[in-house]
Protein backbone atom coordinates (compact mmCIF):
# COMPACT_ATOMS: atom_id res chain seq x y z
CA UNK A 1 0.00 0.00 0.00
CA UNK A 2 1.21 3.52 -0.77
CA UNK A 3 2.67 5.38 2.20
CA UNK A 4 0.14 7.54 4.01
CA UNK A 5 0.51 11.28 3.45
CA UNK A 6 1.62 13.74 6.13
CA UNK A 7 2.03 17.49 6.68
CA UNK A 8 5.35 18.95 5.56
CA UNK A 9 5.57 21.39 8.49
CA UNK A 10 4.03 22.14 11.87
CA UNK A 11 2.89 25.52 10.55
CA UNK A 12 1.16 23.70 7.70
CA UNK A 13 -0.90 21.66 10.14
CA UNK A 14 -1.78 24.66 12.29
CA UNK A 15 -2.77 26.77 9.28
CA UNK A 16 -4.88 23.95 7.87
CA UNK A 17 -6.72 23.59 11.17
CA UNK A 18 -7.16 27.37 11.46
CA UNK A 19 -8.35 27.43 7.84
CA UNK A 20 -10.93 24.80 8.70
CA UNK A 21 -12.06 26.58 11.84
CA UNK A 22 -12.30 30.03 10.26
CA UNK A 23 -15.20 30.10 7.85
CA UNK A 24 -18.82 31.06 7.45
CA UNK A 25 -19.13 30.32 11.16
CA UNK A 26 -16.90 33.25 12.12
CA UNK A 27 -17.90 35.88 9.61
CA UNK A 28 -21.55 35.16 8.92
CA UNK A 29 -22.89 33.13 11.83
CA UNK A 30 -20.99 34.67 14.74
CA UNK A 31 -22.00 38.36 14.35
CA UNK A 32 -25.62 37.41 13.77
CA UNK A 33 -25.69 35.18 16.84
CA UNK A 34 -24.21 38.00 18.91
CA UNK A 35 -26.94 40.28 17.58
CA UNK A 36 -29.68 37.74 18.18
CA UNK A 37 -28.69 36.85 21.75
CA UNK A 38 -28.02 40.20 23.31
CA UNK A 39 -24.59 41.42 22.24
CA UNK A 40 -21.78 41.11 24.73
CA UNK A 41 -23.73 38.76 27.04
CA UNK A 42 -23.55 36.11 24.36
CA UNK A 43 -19.87 36.87 23.83
CA UNK A 44 -19.04 36.07 27.46
CA UNK A 45 -20.85 32.70 27.49
CA UNK A 46 -19.37 31.82 24.13
CA UNK A 47 -15.82 32.54 25.28
CA UNK A 48 -16.28 30.37 28.38
CA UNK A 49 -17.61 27.50 26.26
CA UNK A 50 -14.76 27.80 23.77
CA UNK A 51 -12.25 27.46 26.60
CA UNK A 52 -13.93 24.82 28.76
CA UNK A 53 -15.79 22.69 26.21
CA UNK A 54 -14.41 23.38 22.74
CA UNK A 55 -10.73 23.20 23.64
CA UNK A 56 -10.98 19.89 25.59
CA UNK A 57 -13.02 18.27 22.80
CA UNK A 58 -10.50 19.45 20.21
CA UNK A 59 -7.77 17.67 22.19
CA UNK A 60 -9.89 14.50 22.14
CA UNK A 61 -10.09 14.62 18.35
CA UNK A 62 -6.37 15.34 18.04
CA UNK A 63 -5.36 12.45 20.28
CA UNK A 64 -7.59 9.93 18.49
CA UNK A 65 -6.36 11.07 15.08
CA UNK A 66 -2.70 11.04 15.90
CA UNK A 67 -2.82 7.75 17.79
CA UNK A 68 -4.60 5.83 15.03
CA UNK A 69 -3.28 7.68 11.97
CA UNK A 70 -6.63 6.91 10.37
CA UNK A 71 -9.77 8.58 9.03
CA UNK A 72 -12.58 8.88 11.62
CA UNK A 73 -14.37 5.65 10.64
CA UNK A 74 -11.14 3.63 10.60
CA UNK A 75 -9.89 5.30 13.79
CA UNK A 76 -12.93 4.35 15.85
CA UNK A 77 -12.98 0.88 14.33
CA UNK A 78 -9.40 0.45 15.52
CA UNK A 79 -9.79 1.64 19.10
CA UNK A 80 -13.49 1.17 19.82
CA UNK A 81 -15.39 -1.96 20.75
CA UNK A 82 -18.98 -2.86 19.92
CA UNK A 83 -21.10 0.20 19.38
CA UNK A 84 -18.23 2.61 19.99
CA UNK A 85 -16.42 1.22 16.94
CA UNK A 86 -19.21 2.63 14.80
CA UNK A 87 -19.04 6.27 16.01
CA UNK A 88 -16.97 7.32 13.00
CA UNK A 89 -19.98 6.98 10.74
CA UNK A 90 -21.65 9.96 12.38
CA UNK A 91 -18.80 12.09 11.02
CA UNK A 92 -18.88 10.82 7.48
CA UNK A 93 -22.64 11.33 7.20
CA UNK A 94 -22.42 14.78 8.80
CA UNK A 95 -19.56 15.75 6.47
CA UNK A 96 -21.50 14.78 3.43
CA UNK A 97 -24.56 16.79 4.41
CA UNK A 98 -22.72 19.83 5.79
CA UNK A 99 -20.51 20.24 2.75
CA UNK A 100 -23.49 19.92 0.39
CA UNK A 101 -25.18 23.04 1.79
CA UNK A 102 -22.03 24.88 2.90
CA UNK A 103 -21.09 24.94 -0.78
CA UNK A 104 -24.49 26.35 -1.76
CA UNK A 105 -24.11 29.26 0.69
CA UNK A 106 -20.54 29.79 -0.51
CA UNK A 107 -21.93 29.98 -4.06
CA UNK A 108 -24.26 32.82 -3.03
CA UNK A 109 -21.22 34.60 -1.62
CA UNK A 110 -19.55 34.34 -5.04
CA UNK A 111 -22.62 36.03 -6.53
CA UNK A 112 -22.40 38.82 -3.94
CA UNK A 113 -18.78 39.54 -4.89
CA UNK A 114 -19.94 40.20 -8.44
CA UNK A 115 -22.92 42.29 -7.31
CA UNK A 116 -20.55 44.43 -5.21
CA UNK A 117 -18.07 44.92 -8.05
CA UNK A 118 -20.95 46.14 -10.19
CA UNK A 119 -21.94 48.56 -7.38
CA UNK A 120 -25.38 47.00 -7.22
CA UNK A 121 -26.17 46.27 -3.58
CA UNK A 122 -29.83 47.15 -3.14
CA UNK A 123 -30.50 50.21 -0.97
CA UNK A 124 -34.03 49.03 -0.45
CA UNK A 125 -35.35 45.64 -1.38
CA UNK A 126 -32.20 43.85 -0.21
CA UNK A 127 -34.37 40.89 0.73
CA UNK A 128 -35.71 40.69 -2.83
CA UNK A 129 -32.18 40.79 -4.16
CA UNK A 130 -31.23 37.94 -1.84
CA UNK A 131 -34.32 36.01 -2.96
CA UNK A 132 -33.20 36.36 -6.57
CA UNK A 133 -29.75 35.01 -5.69
CA UNK A 134 -31.00 31.88 -3.96
CA UNK A 135 -32.87 29.24 -5.89
CA UNK A 136 -32.94 28.31 -9.53
CA UNK A 137 -30.12 27.70 -11.96
CA UNK A 138 -27.71 30.52 -11.02
CA UNK A 139 -27.58 29.14 -7.50
CA UNK A 140 -26.95 25.60 -8.80
CA UNK A 141 -24.22 26.96 -11.06
CA UNK A 142 -22.35 28.84 -8.31
CA UNK A 143 -22.68 25.77 -6.08
CA UNK A 144 -21.01 23.77 -8.89
CA UNK A 145 -18.21 26.34 -9.27
CA UNK A 146 -17.44 26.28 -5.56
CA UNK A 147 -17.48 22.46 -5.41
CA UNK A 148 -15.13 22.36 -8.41
CA UNK A 149 -12.64 24.52 -6.48
CA UNK A 150 -12.89 22.21 -3.47
CA UNK A 151 -12.36 19.13 -5.65
CA UNK A 152 -9.37 20.76 -7.37
CA UNK A 153 -7.54 21.53 -4.13
CA UNK A 154 -8.25 18.27 -2.32
CA UNK A 155 -7.33 16.23 -5.41
CA UNK A 156 -3.79 17.65 -5.17
CA UNK A 157 -3.30 15.95 -1.81
CA UNK A 158 -2.26 16.99 1.69
CA UNK A 159 1.01 18.81 0.99
CA UNK A 160 0.50 20.13 -2.55
CA UNK A 161 -3.21 20.81 -2.21
CA UNK A 162 -4.44 21.56 1.30
CA UNK A 163 -1.18 22.68 2.94
CA UNK A 164 -0.07 24.94 0.11
CA UNK A 165 -3.48 26.54 -0.34
CA UNK A 166 -3.99 27.32 3.36
CA UNK A 167 -0.55 28.95 3.52
CA UNK A 168 -1.93 31.48 1.05
CA UNK A 169 -5.54 31.63 2.23
CA UNK A 170 -5.21 32.03 6.00
CA UNK A 171 -2.83 35.03 5.94
CA UNK A 172 -5.05 36.57 3.23
CA UNK A 173 -8.17 36.20 5.39
CA UNK A 174 -6.47 37.80 8.39
CA UNK A 175 -5.00 40.70 6.39
CA UNK A 176 -8.28 41.46 4.62
CA UNK A 177 -10.37 41.32 7.80
CA UNK A 178 -7.99 43.50 9.77
CA UNK A 179 -8.00 46.03 6.90
CA UNK A 180 -11.80 46.02 6.84
CA UNK A 181 -11.99 46.42 10.63
CA UNK A 182 -9.65 49.40 10.55
CA UNK A 183 -11.77 51.05 7.85
CA UNK A 184 -14.96 50.21 9.73
CA UNK A 185 -13.46 51.94 12.78
CA UNK A 186 -13.44 55.22 10.88
CA UNK A 187 -17.19 55.09 10.16
CA UNK A 188 -19.55 57.35 12.07
CA UNK A 189 -21.41 54.52 13.84
CA UNK A 190 -18.28 52.86 15.19
CA UNK A 191 -18.50 54.28 18.72
CA UNK A 192 -22.05 53.09 19.35
CA UNK A 193 -21.26 49.74 17.75
CA UNK A 194 -18.31 49.12 20.06
CA UNK A 195 -20.38 50.03 23.09
CA UNK A 196 -23.01 47.50 22.10
CA UNK A 197 -20.49 44.79 21.20
CA UNK A 198 -18.15 45.15 24.15
CA UNK A 199 -20.14 45.86 27.31
CA UNK A 200 -21.81 42.73 28.63
CA UNK A 201 -25.16 42.92 30.36
CA UNK A 202 -24.73 40.21 32.98
CA UNK A 203 -28.40 40.41 33.94
CA UNK A 204 -29.33 39.36 30.43
CA UNK A 205 -27.27 36.18 30.76
CA UNK A 206 -28.99 35.16 33.98
CA UNK A 207 -32.49 35.73 32.73
CA UNK A 208 -31.95 34.17 29.35
CA UNK A 209 -29.55 31.30 29.86
CA UNK A 210 -31.74 28.54 28.36
CA UNK A 211 -31.49 30.31 25.03
CA UNK A 212 -27.99 31.69 25.22
CA UNK A 213 -26.29 28.51 26.40
CA UNK A 214 -27.38 26.07 23.64
CA UNK A 215 -26.89 28.70 20.96
CA UNK A 216 -23.41 29.58 22.22
CA UNK A 217 -22.43 25.90 22.50
CA UNK A 218 -23.59 25.09 18.97
CA UNK A 219 -21.68 28.11 17.73
CA UNK A 220 -18.54 27.03 19.62
CA UNK A 221 -18.65 23.57 18.00
CA UNK A 222 -19.40 24.84 14.54
CA UNK A 223 -16.74 27.49 14.56
CA UNK A 224 -14.02 25.17 15.85
CA UNK A 225 -14.97 22.47 13.30
CA UNK A 226 -15.62 20.01 16.11
CA UNK A 227 -17.77 16.91 16.23
CA UNK A 228 -17.20 16.17 12.58
CA UNK A 229 -13.91 14.35 12.53
CA UNK A 230 -12.02 17.15 10.79
CA UNK A 231 -9.56 17.44 13.65
CA UNK A 232 -9.23 13.63 13.84
CA UNK A 233 -8.41 13.54 10.15
CA UNK A 234 -6.01 16.48 10.19
CA UNK A 235 -4.18 15.14 13.27
CA UNK A 236 -3.85 11.75 11.60
CA UNK A 237 -1.33 13.32 9.22
CA UNK A 238 0.73 14.63 12.14
CA UNK A 239 4.06 13.44 13.60
CA UNK A 240 4.63 12.15 17.11
CA UNK A 241 6.64 15.00 18.52
CA UNK A 242 4.08 17.78 18.45
CA UNK A 243 2.55 19.15 21.61
CA UNK A 244 -1.17 18.82 20.93
CA UNK A 245 -2.29 21.17 23.68
CA UNK A 246 -0.02 23.95 22.45
CA UNK A 247 -1.13 23.57 18.82
CA UNK A 248 -4.77 23.39 19.96
CA UNK A 249 -4.43 26.58 21.99
CA UNK A 250 -3.01 28.45 18.99
CA UNK A 251 -5.84 27.21 16.75
CA UNK A 252 -8.58 28.06 19.25
CA UNK A 253 -6.99 31.45 19.96
CA UNK A 254 -6.74 32.43 16.29
CA UNK A 255 -10.27 31.26 15.50
CA UNK A 256 -11.67 33.29 18.38
CA UNK A 257 -9.65 36.35 17.47
CA UNK A 258 -10.86 36.22 13.87
CA UNK A 259 -14.52 35.87 14.90
CA UNK A 260 -14.02 38.84 17.19
CA UNK A 261 -12.53 40.92 14.37
CA UNK A 262 -15.45 39.95 12.10
CA UNK A 263 -17.72 41.57 14.71
CA UNK A 264 -15.54 44.70 14.58
CA UNK A 265 -16.33 44.87 10.86
CA UNK A 266 -20.03 43.98 10.89
CA UNK A 267 -21.32 46.12 13.78
CA UNK A 268 -19.81 49.50 12.81
CA UNK A 269 -21.10 49.00 9.24
CA UNK A 270 -24.60 48.19 10.52
CA UNK A 271 -24.68 50.98 13.10
CA UNK A 272 -23.47 53.50 10.53
CA UNK A 273 -26.33 52.53 8.23
CA UNK A 274 -28.72 52.71 11.22
CA UNK A 275 -29.61 49.07 10.72
CA UNK A 276 -29.55 47.86 14.30
CA UNK A 277 -32.68 45.78 13.79
CA UNK A 278 -31.08 43.17 11.56
CA UNK A 279 -32.42 40.24 9.62
CA UNK A 280 -31.21 37.09 11.28
CA UNK A 281 -30.20 33.68 9.93
CA UNK A 282 -28.96 33.20 6.40
CA UNK A 283 -30.09 36.70 5.52
CA UNK A 284 -27.73 38.43 7.92
CA UNK A 285 -24.77 39.18 5.68
CA UNK A 286 -26.75 38.97 2.47
CA UNK A 287 -29.60 41.27 3.45
CA UNK A 288 -28.68 43.49 6.40
CA UNK A 289 -25.00 43.85 5.71
CA UNK A 290 -25.29 44.28 1.94
CA UNK A 291 -27.98 46.90 2.45
CA UNK A 292 -25.66 48.65 4.89
CA UNK A 293 -22.83 48.52 2.34
CA UNK A 294 -25.08 50.26 -0.18
CA UNK A 295 -25.24 53.34 2.02
CA UNK A 296 -21.68 53.79 3.28
CA UNK A 297 -18.74 55.40 1.44
CA UNK A 298 -17.10 53.00 -1.07
CA UNK A 299 -19.69 50.41 -0.06
CA UNK A 300 -19.70 48.44 -3.32
CA UNK A 301 -15.99 47.76 -3.44
CA UNK A 302 -15.87 47.32 0.31
CA UNK A 303 -18.66 44.76 0.12
CA UNK A 304 -16.89 42.92 -2.69
CA UNK A 305 -13.72 42.72 -0.58
CA UNK A 306 -15.77 41.57 2.40
CA UNK A 307 -17.53 38.83 0.44
CA UNK A 308 -14.26 37.76 -1.18
CA UNK A 309 -12.81 37.34 2.32
CA UNK A 310 -15.79 35.21 3.31
CA UNK A 311 -15.41 33.12 0.15
CA UNK A 312 -11.75 32.38 0.89
CA UNK A 313 -12.61 31.48 4.47
CA UNK A 314 -15.42 29.20 3.28
CA UNK A 315 -13.08 27.46 0.83
CA UNK A 316 -10.44 26.71 3.46
CA UNK A 317 -13.19 25.18 5.65
CA UNK A 318 -14.85 23.24 2.86
CA UNK A 319 -11.64 21.46 1.90
CA UNK A 320 -11.35 20.16 5.46
CA UNK A 321 -14.83 18.67 5.38
CA UNK A 322 -14.07 17.08 2.02
CA UNK A 323 -10.85 15.59 3.38
CA UNK A 324 -12.80 13.74 6.10
CA UNK A 325 -14.88 11.79 3.56
CA UNK A 326 -12.02 11.41 1.09
CA UNK A 327 -9.64 10.00 3.73
CA UNK A 328 -12.32 7.42 4.55
CA UNK A 329 -12.41 6.14 0.93
CA UNK A 330 -8.62 6.17 0.64
CA UNK A 331 -7.87 4.43 3.96
CA UNK A 332 -10.73 1.97 4.14
CA UNK A 333 -11.31 1.12 0.50
CA UNK A 334 -7.87 1.69 -0.99
CA UNK A 335 -9.28 4.03 -3.64
CA UNK A 336 -6.79 6.48 -5.16
CA UNK A 337 -7.15 10.13 -4.18
CA UNK A 338 -8.18 11.63 -7.52
CA UNK A 339 -11.04 9.21 -8.34
CA UNK A 340 -12.15 9.32 -4.67
CA UNK A 341 -12.32 13.14 -4.63
CA UNK A 342 -14.02 13.35 -8.00
CA UNK A 343 -16.71 10.79 -7.23
CA UNK A 344 -17.41 12.25 -3.79
CA UNK A 345 -17.39 15.80 -5.10
CA UNK A 346 -20.02 14.98 -7.69
CA UNK A 347 -22.13 13.06 -5.16
CA UNK A 348 -21.96 15.93 -2.64
CA UNK A 349 -22.84 18.40 -5.37
CA UNK A 350 -25.93 16.37 -6.22
CA UNK A 351 -27.00 16.11 -2.58
CA UNK A 352 -26.76 19.92 -2.39
CA UNK A 353 -28.89 20.54 -5.49
CA UNK A 354 -32.24 20.62 -3.60
CA UNK A 355 -30.81 23.34 -1.33
CA UNK A 356 -29.39 25.27 -4.28
CA UNK A 357 -32.46 24.99 -6.50
CA UNK A 358 -35.00 25.62 -3.70
CA UNK A 359 -37.47 28.22 -4.92
CA UNK A 360 -39.70 28.13 -1.86
CA UNK A 361 -38.48 31.58 -0.93
CA UNK A 362 -38.01 30.49 2.67
CA UNK A 363 -34.90 28.32 2.34
CA UNK A 364 -36.74 25.22 3.49
CA UNK A 365 -34.06 22.75 2.44
CA UNK A 366 -31.28 24.80 3.98
CA UNK A 367 -33.14 24.75 7.29
CA UNK A 368 -33.60 20.98 7.09
CA UNK A 369 -29.99 20.18 6.20
CA UNK A 370 -28.54 22.66 8.67
CA UNK A 371 -30.81 21.53 11.48
CA UNK A 372 -30.08 17.85 11.13
CA UNK A 373 -26.38 17.96 10.43
CA UNK A 374 -25.24 20.94 12.32
CA UNK A 375 -27.38 21.23 15.38
CA UNK A 376 -27.71 17.50 15.97
CA UNK A 377 -24.94 15.45 14.34
CA UNK A 378 -22.06 17.78 15.31
CA UNK A 379 -23.09 17.93 18.95
CA UNK A 380 -23.77 14.20 18.99
CA UNK A 381 -20.35 13.50 17.46
CA UNK A 382 -18.63 15.63 20.10
CA UNK A 383 -20.63 14.06 22.92
CA UNK A 384 -19.79 10.50 21.85
CA UNK A 385 -16.09 11.34 21.60
CA UNK A 386 -16.08 13.00 25.03
CA UNK A 387 -17.69 9.90 26.55
CA UNK A 388 -15.29 7.63 24.69
CA UNK A 389 -12.05 9.28 25.79
CA UNK A 390 -13.42 10.52 29.14
CA UNK A 391 -14.66 7.12 30.30
CA UNK A 392 -13.43 4.34 27.99
CA UNK A 393 -10.05 5.05 26.38
CA UNK A 394 -8.68 7.35 29.08
CA UNK A 395 -5.14 5.96 28.95
CA UNK A 396 -4.87 6.38 25.23
CA UNK A 397 -5.93 10.01 25.54
CA UNK A 398 -3.51 10.72 28.37
CA UNK A 399 -0.63 9.04 26.56
CA UNK A 400 -1.17 11.09 23.41
CA UNK A 401 -1.64 14.34 25.30
CA UNK A 402 1.57 13.86 27.26
CA UNK A 403 3.73 13.53 24.13
CA UNK A 404 5.64 16.71 23.43
CA UNK A 405 5.20 17.83 27.07
CA UNK A 406 8.19 17.73 29.38
CA UNK A 407 5.84 17.08 32.26
CA UNK A 408 2.08 17.06 31.84
CA UNK A 409 1.60 16.61 35.60
CA UNK A 410 -1.97 16.69 36.83
CA UNK A 411 -3.20 18.65 33.79
CA UNK A 412 -4.00 15.36 32.08
CA UNK A 413 -6.49 14.43 34.80
CA UNK A 414 -7.93 17.95 34.81
CA UNK A 415 -8.66 17.42 31.12
CA UNK A 416 -10.19 13.98 31.64
CA UNK A 417 -12.42 15.17 34.49
CA UNK A 418 -13.52 18.18 32.48
CA UNK A 419 -14.65 15.77 29.78
CA UNK A 420 -16.20 13.30 32.18
CA UNK A 421 -18.78 15.51 33.82
CA UNK A 422 -19.11 19.15 32.77
CA UNK A 423 -18.59 18.61 29.03
CA UNK A 424 -20.88 15.58 28.84
CA UNK A 425 -23.67 17.14 30.90
CA UNK A 426 -23.51 20.35 28.94
CA UNK A 427 -23.57 18.62 25.56
CA UNK A 428 -26.54 16.52 26.65
CA UNK A 429 -28.45 19.66 27.62
CA UNK A 430 -27.53 21.35 24.34
CA UNK A 431 -28.51 18.29 22.32
CA UNK A 432 -31.86 18.24 24.07
CA UNK A 433 -32.59 21.88 23.28
CA UNK A 434 -31.34 21.63 19.72
CA UNK A 435 -33.29 18.45 19.01
CA UNK A 436 -36.50 20.04 20.21
CA UNK A 437 -35.81 23.20 18.18
CA UNK A 438 -35.10 21.19 15.05
CA UNK A 439 -38.20 19.08 15.64
CA UNK A 440 -40.34 22.19 15.97
CA UNK A 441 -38.95 23.72 12.81
CA UNK A 442 -39.48 20.47 10.87
CA UNK A 443 -43.08 20.30 12.07
CA UNK A 444 -43.43 23.92 11.06
CA UNK A 445 -42.22 23.11 7.54
CA UNK A 446 -43.76 19.71 6.84
CA UNK A 447 -46.37 19.28 9.54
N1 LIG B 1 -15.61 25.86 11.21
C2 LIG B 1 -16.27 26.21 9.98
C3 LIG B 1 -16.81 27.61 10.08
O4 LIG B 1 -16.68 28.24 11.13
O5 LIG B 1 -17.34 28.08 9.10
C6 LIG B 1 -17.37 25.30 9.60
C7 LIG B 1 -17.11 23.86 9.74
C8 LIG B 1 -16.03 23.29 9.08
C9 LIG B 1 -17.91 23.09 10.55
C10 LIG B 1 -15.77 21.97 9.26
C11 LIG B 1 -17.66 21.78 10.73
C12 LIG B 1 -16.59 21.24 10.07
F13 LIG B 1 -16.34 19.99 10.23
Query: Could you identify the atom of ligand 1 that is nearest to the CA of residue 28?
Result: 5
Ligand 1 centroid distance, CA of 83 (Å): 26
Q: What is the CATH number of the domain that holds 37?
A: 1.20.1740
pLDDT digits (tens, 9 = 90+) for 305-314: 999 999 999 9
Q: Rounded to the nearest 10 degrees, what angle do helices 136-155 and 337-357 cross at?
A: 160
pLDDT at 207 over 80: no
Q: What is the pLDDT of residue 428?
A: 96
Classify residue 4: in a domain, yes or no. Answer: no
The answer to whether residue 1 is domain-embedded is: no
Q: Are 316 and 20 in contact (CB under 8 A)?
A: yes
For ligand 1, atom 10: residue with the closest CA? 225
Task: Report the nearest atom of ligand 1 relative to the CA of 94.
Answer: 13
In this structure, the residues whose C-beta lies within 6 A of any atom of ligand 1 are: 20-21, 23-26, 98, 222-223, 225, 228, 230, 317, 320-321
Tell me the pLDDT tens digit for each residue of 189-199. 999 999 888 88
Angle of helix 10-21 relative to helix 164-185, nearest 10 degrees?
50
* Protein residue closest via CA to atom 12 of ligand 1: 225
Residue 135, pLDDT score: 87
Q: Domain for residue 428, yes or no?
A: yes
**SS3 state of residue 340:** helix
Centroid of ligand 1 to alpha carbon of 38 (angstroms): 24
CA distances from 372 to 12, 60, 350, 359, 377 (A): 32, 23, 18, 20, 7
Local confidence band at 265 (pLDDT 50, 70, 90 cut-offs): very high
List of residues 6+ apart from 414 with CB closer than 8 A? none
Q: Model confidence at 174, in pLDDT bands (50, 70, 90)? A: very high
Residue 1 has pLDDT above 60, yes or no: no
User: Does residue 2 belong to any structural domain of this protein?
Assistant: no
The pTM for the full model equals 0.93
Query: Is the per-residue pLDDT at 280 higher than 80?
Result: no
Mutate to test the pocket of ligand 1, among 31, 90, 225, 227 (most ligand atoms within 8 A of CB): 225
Q: Which atom of ligand 1 is nearest to the CA of 22?
A: 4
Which span out of 75-89, 149-163, 291-305, 347-361 was modeled with the highest average pLDDT? 149-163
Structural domain containing residue 307: 10-446
User: pLDDT tens digits for 113-151?
Assistant: 999 999 889 888 888 899 888 989 999 999 999 999 999
Answer yes or no: are the C-beta atoms of 65 and 231 closer than 8 Å: yes
Atom of ligand 1 nearest to the CA of 23: 5
Residue 186 lies in a domain: yes
Statement: residue 354 has pLDDT above 60: yes
Q: Count how many domains the chain has.
A: 1
Residue 82 resides in a domain: yes
In a domain, 114, yes or no: yes
Residue nearest to atom 11 of ligand 1 (CA): 225
5 found inside a domain: no
Mutation test residue for ligand 1: of 17, 18, 21, the one with most atoms within 8 Å of CB = 21
Of 224-233, 274-283, 438-447, the poorest mean pLDDT is in: 274-283
Pocket test for ligand 1, best of 19, 20, 262 (most atoms within 8 A of CB): 20
Amino acid sequence: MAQRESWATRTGFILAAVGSAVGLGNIWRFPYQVGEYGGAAFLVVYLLLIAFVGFPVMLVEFSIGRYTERNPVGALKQIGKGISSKIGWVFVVAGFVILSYYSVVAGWILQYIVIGLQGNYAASGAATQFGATTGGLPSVLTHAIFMAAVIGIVALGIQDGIELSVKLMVPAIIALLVGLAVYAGTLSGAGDAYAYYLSPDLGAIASNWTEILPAAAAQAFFTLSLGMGVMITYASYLGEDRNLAKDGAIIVGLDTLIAFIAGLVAFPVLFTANLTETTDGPGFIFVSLSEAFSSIPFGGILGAVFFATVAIAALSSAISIMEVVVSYLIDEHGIARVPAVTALGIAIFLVGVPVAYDQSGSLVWLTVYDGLANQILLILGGLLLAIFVGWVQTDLGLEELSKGFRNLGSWGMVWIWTLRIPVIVLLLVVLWYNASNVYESLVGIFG
